[in-house]
Amino acid sequence: MLAIDQLDLEAGERLAVLGPNGAGKTTLLRLLAGLEAPTTGRVEIDGEPIAGADLELRRRVGYATQRPGLLATTVVRNVELPLRWRGLDGAARRAAALAALERLNIASLADRKALSLSGGEAQRVSLARALAIEPQLLLLDEPAAGLDAEVRRAFFDDLERALGDRATTVVHVSHRAEETLRLADSVAVLTGGAIRQLSDPASVVRQPADVTVARLIGYENVLSARIDGSRQVLIDGAPCGVIATTGPGAATLAAWATAVHVVTPDATPLRATVERISQGPGRWELTLVGSQTLHAHLRFDQHPPSVGDLVGVRIDSTHAVVIRTRPSAPPP
Amino acid sequence: MDAVPEVLGRSALVSLTATAIALALGVPVGTWLALGRRRGRGVLATAVNTGMAIPTVVVGLVVAMLLWRSGPLGDLELIYTLRGMIIAQVLIAGPLVAGITMAGLQALPPELPDQLRALGANTPQLVVRLWIEARVPLLAAAMAGFGHAISEVGSATIVGGNIHGQTQVMTTSIVEQVGKGDFQDALVYAGILLALAFTINAVLTSVQQRAAAWAQS
């Protein structure tokens, strides 16, 4: 269920909606596409309610879904189909369809059978079909969800290029922060059907509103903490090197793994035991266990400790953020 | 006994007409059962599935009682006519067509109707596109409907009455020959009936398999 008080989109704005599975992201897109009607409230495009709207309004919206939903015909005919439904004649439809395929670098696939395409190719065709109608509003529902990392990156490169400097308003939903943030002018973090934070991408990354948002953004370390009278942030009662800007109280410390520095045990009061070391892309990835689990990344040229070593931990405050824990409501 | 070409032509006329009407009625019903969201779908789907298994003599009996001169539709004077036989065969083939259409459309990706709506399809455009996507099972529905209609003997006998020169068809002729102990003629009729069924199904199967191969290649 969605419970959104108000969400305004400017023409040409690119909104990323970030949320975990089941947060209501797809429901939001279905409401925007006019495929579902809200039980209360309304969804409007240019001031007109989309639910129950005439076809002309719905046809201003392009929608690319998680599954490409291609039909058992050629690629170019798949892309032509929505143009046919909009009454374009044969030559104009073919030209527009080929142009849309060209924008996504897949013009060479035009005469292929759509059901014989690879996952990445099929998603590009699905996107070309949504773009071919030159939509006023483009809805993207995790369009690269089923693709491996490399194909996904290439897909978003092509998407970014295809959108170019067009004035199309875009709503892109995903549970992957890195994908949603790269296309966005603004980010809405959606959990449990409600918007937890709505701001520009940099603010969401640098100052997540709460623990849930911090986890969704991808902070590897989200730790229970306490701020003491001298504004030092304490992890398990030991200062970690971060100074808070607010007064004493319970807090959460969100820190990137690159902000967690491993030092000698006598250099800092915060200590942990090395539980696991593995090689990541261009780095060592360490799992450190005290009363809470921490994740640290070291460059390959840094000598890693051994599993079982007791180490000191210091957290770099420039890559960490203190989130004040909201006091729980008093019992009635 | 009528000449073979006359009986064969009558059989083909009755069964092809009944199949065409069964498709015209059964495909929309099956489509509504697959895509509709209104109440009553479950009951109708059960009725359709039951209709697929009803013995043809039972259909013949019910239709004959309705069309009997003293029955509720007796004034239409359809008993012992080709039209009456066609009505009975529509009731035999219709549930089969509706049931296979429903199953064929339900086998499509469940998100496809919404995806087509999101691309801007109105309801007729949506339904036609889904029929095109489900063309292989829809052709199977046509073949099954025709096969059921041309091969049935129960309703043809009861509703048509096997009247020479008027309502005798291949299946009722075979029954008549066997009744007279003339197995040779019965076998000739059976062979011709099989050839007719084979020819029509061969054409439909060829279209169906080309459609399937085209989509997957």
Domain holding A185: CATH number?
Answer: 3.40.50.300
pLDDT value, residue A261: 94
Same domain as A160, residue A241: no
Q: Which residue of B has its CA nearest to A137?
A: B118
Contact state of A72 with B111 under an 8 Å Cβ cutoff? no
Q: Would you say residue A329 lies in a domain?
A: no
Which chain A residues are closer than 8 Å to B139 by Cβ?
none
- Tally of structural domains, chain A: 2
Domain that holds residue A235: 219-324
Answer whether residue B45 shows pLDDT above 80. Answer: yes
Which chain B residues are closer than 8 Å to A63 by Cβ?
115, 118-119
Same domain as A241, residue A158: no
pLDDT value, residue B147: 93
Q: Would you say residue A331 lies in a domain?
A: no
Same domain as A268, residue A122: no
Contact state of A72 with B215 under an 8 Å Cβ cutoff? yes
A116 touching chain B per CB within 8 A: yes
B37 touching chain A per CB within 8 A: no
B121 touching chain A per CB within 8 A: yes
Answer whether residue A331 shows pLDDT above 60. Answer: no
Arithmetic mean of pLDDT, A191-202 = 94
A59 touching chain B per CB within 8 A: yes
Answer whether residue B217 shows pLDDT above 60. Answer: no
pLDDT value, residue B215: 60
pLDDT value, residue B210: 83
Q: Would you say residue A87 lies in a domain?
A: yes
Q: Would you say residue A2 lies in a domain?
A: no
Nearest to B115 among A65, A73, A86 (CB): A65
> Distance (Å, rounded) from C-alpha A56 to C-alpha A166?
21
| Chain B (77-116) residues lying within 8 Å, Cβ to Cβ, of chain A | 109, 111-112, 114-116
Contact state of A69 with B111 under an 8 Å Cβ cutoff? yes
Tens-digit pLDDT profile for residues B116-152: 999 999 999 999 999 999 999 999 999 999 999 999 9
Contact state of B119 with A67 under an 8 Å Cβ cutoff? no
Same domain as A119, residue A70: yes
B20 touching chain A per CB within 8 A: no
The amino acid that residue B103 corresponds to is A
Which residues are within 8 A (CB) of A40 and not within 5 positions of it... i.e. 6 or more apart? none
pLDDT value, residue A93: 96
Q: Name the pTM for this structure.
A: 0.83
A214 touching chain B per CB within 8 A: no
pLDDT value, residue A291: 87
Same domain as A197, residue A66: yes
Query: ipTM of this model?
Result: 0.78
* Least confident range of A98-107, A118-127, A178-187, B103-112: A178-187
Q: How confident is the model at residue B216 (pLDDT cuts 50, 70, 90)?
A: low
Contact state of A33 with B118 under an 8 Å Cβ cutoff? yes
Answer whether residue A216 shows pLDDT above 70. Answer: yes
Q: Of A152, A182, A210, which residue constitutes the final position of a domain?
A: A210
Nearest to A35 among B117, B214, B216 (CB): B117
Q: Would you say residue A233 lies in a domain?
A: yes
Q: Of A210, A237, A255, which residue constitutes the final position of a domain?
A: A210
Q: Would you say residue A263 lies in a domain?
A: yes
Same domain as A307, residue A185: no
Same domain as A257, residue A117: no
**Interface mutation vs chain A, best among B37, B112, B119, B217, most A CBs within 10 Å:** B119
Other C-beta atoms closer than 10 Å to the C-beta of A148 total 10
Answer whether residue A332 shows pLDDT above 70. Answer: no
B216 touching chain A per CB within 8 A: yes
pLDDT value, residue A256: 95
A22 φψ region: left (φ > 0), alpha (ψ -120 to 50), beta (else): left
Q: Do B90 and A56 meet the contact criterion of CB atoms below 8 Å apart?
A: no
> Over pLDDT 70: what percentage of chain A?
98
Answer whether residue A330 shows pLDDT above 70. Answer: no
Contact state of A85 with B133 under an 8 Å Cβ cutoff? no
Contact state of A71 with B129 under an 8 Å Cβ cutoff? yes
A55 touching chain B per CB within 8 A: yes
Arithmetic mean of pLDDT, B81-93 = 97
Which chain A residues are closer than 8 Å to B111 by Cβ?
65, 67, 69
Q: Which residue of B has its CA nearest to A72?
A: B215
Same domain as A249, residue A102: no
**Interface mutation vs chain B, best among A50, A54, A71, most B CBs within 10 Å:** A71
A33 touching chain B per CB within 8 A: yes
Answer whether residue A329 shows pLDDT above 80. Answer: no
Arithmetic mean of pLDDT, A9-23 = 93
Arithmetic mean of pLDDT, A227-238 = 92
Tens-digit pLDDT profile for residues B203-215: 988 988 887 776 6
Same domain as A117, residue A63: yes
> Over pLDDT 90: what percentage of chain A?
71
Q: Would you say residue A8 lies in a domain?
A: no
Same domain as A308, residue A206: no
Residue whose entry in the numeric block shows the structure tokens 């020479």: B164
Contact state of A35 with B216 under an 8 Å Cβ cutoff? no
Arithmetic mean of pLDDT, A204-233 = 93
Across chain A, mean pLDDT equals 91
Same domain as A259, residue A161: no
Residue B27, phi then psi, degrees to nearest 5: -65, -45
pLDDT value, residue B140: 93
pLDDT value, residue A150: 84
Q: Of A210, A244, A265, which residue constitutes the final position of a domain?
A: A210
Same domain as A261, residue A122: no
Q: Do B93 and B59 meet the contact criterion of CB atoms below 8 Å apart?
A: no
In order of their start, the domains of chain B are 4-216 (1.10.3720.10)
Contact state of B112 with A116 under an 8 Å Cβ cutoff? no
Nearest to B120 among A69, A73, A85 (CB): A85
